[in-house]
Amino acid sequence: MKREYINPFSARGNWYRGNVHAHTTISDGTKSPEELVKLYKEAGYDFLSITDHSVVAKVGHLASRDFLLIPGEEICVGKSTAGTLYHIVALNIDDTLPFEDFDYGLNPQKVIDKINELGGTVISAHPFWSGLNHHDMMKINGYHGVEIYNTSCDFERNTGLSDSHIDGIIAAGRKPFIYAIDDHHGAEMGNAPLDACVAWINVKAEKLTRESIMASINKGLFYASNGPEIKDISIDDEGVISVKCSPVRYISFVSTPSLGFKFHAMGEPLTSAKYPGRPGETYVRVEIEDFDGRRAWSSPIYNIG
């Protein structure tokens, strides 16, 4: 079985942790850019993208040699089958997009195309929370990835996990990369933890610069997590997928509908698993879950023959 996988674990470079969706007082967040940078830096993150609504925040002066800021913006446009908006994150753009936010009449494809034209990277944000269905997701294309996990949506509404949205579009032929992000707003709800420093992408890059980190993100040299660590993914000549990870309760090989396989810890925690695949699979993605319910996700591995 031949497989196609953009493998960050075999790439050269170092691992860098970052959150690429967050808000400040410049739009609808409750923390200033200075407060947010301090929060993520002290939590051990290496980079952050402040993606305020309707504006690319000019916060480059808050970066340092050991903490990178990548400019970005979130914009909400179009109308889903349910009458809700598409939320689109534009990562790595320098200027505010020339569109009105919360414009139900604007085709989201026009926004995606513009972001790509500007050299930005498009992420489809929290499709479950947004009320998007499979038809809505398939109406747009040209996005680099989809948020499989969104901390803010999870903490506030229990709608932060969009794995079924992602698996649906992969099964239908799309090839998204998989992101986990915080979407930090900072609302003090009193009944939930702060929606910051919970989720991230681990990026394999040569160095901590905007050019290097974005080159690796665009190539797909990262995996997503809100807790456990994927230490290695390798594929042998027979197509057997081997995974090594921090101690977890489950290692799942999520695949084409009705296929795939889930390993359970029976006594001792799992730290590795091997999966040969099953006939009829078009893709496999690795998902691990620790004993606290936190997860990590690889981007998909595709079967090519």
* CB of 110 closer than 8 Å to CB of 116: no
Same fold, 3-225 and 227-305: no
Answer whether 160's CB lies under 8 Å from 87's CB: no
> 227-305: which CATH number, 2.40.50, 3.30.450, 3.40.50, 2.60.40?
2.60.40
What are the residue ranges of helices labelled H in the chain?
Answer: 33-42, 108-117, 127-130, 134-138, 151-157, 163-171, 210-219
pLDDT at 221: 98
What pLDDT, on the 0 to 100 scale, is given for residue 1? Answer: 84
The Cα 168–Cα 270 span in angstroms is: 28
Q: Note the pLDDT of residue 242.
A: 98
Whether CATH 3.20.20.140 fits 3-225: yes
Rounded to an integer, what distance in angstroms lies between the CA atom of residue 271 and that of residue 182?
26
Q: What's the number of CA atoms in the CB half-sphere (13 Å) around residue 97? A: 35
Torsion angle, alpha carbons of 218, 224, 229, 231, to 10: -30
Q: What does the pLDDT read at residue 192?
A: 86
Instruction: Say which amino acid occupies 234.
Output: S
Condensed to tens digits (0 to 9), the pLDDT of residues 106-115 reads 999 999 999 9
- pLDDT tens, residue by residue, 13-24: 999 999 999 999
Q: List 257's β-bridge partners, or say none.
A: none
Domain boundaries, the chain: 3-225, 227-305
Answer yes or no: are the C-beta atoms of 33 and 24 closer than 8 Å: yes
pLDDT along the chain (305 residues), means of 10: 96 98 97 98 98 97 97 98 98 98 98 98 98 98 98 96 98 98 86 94 98 98 98 97 98 98 96 97 98 98 91
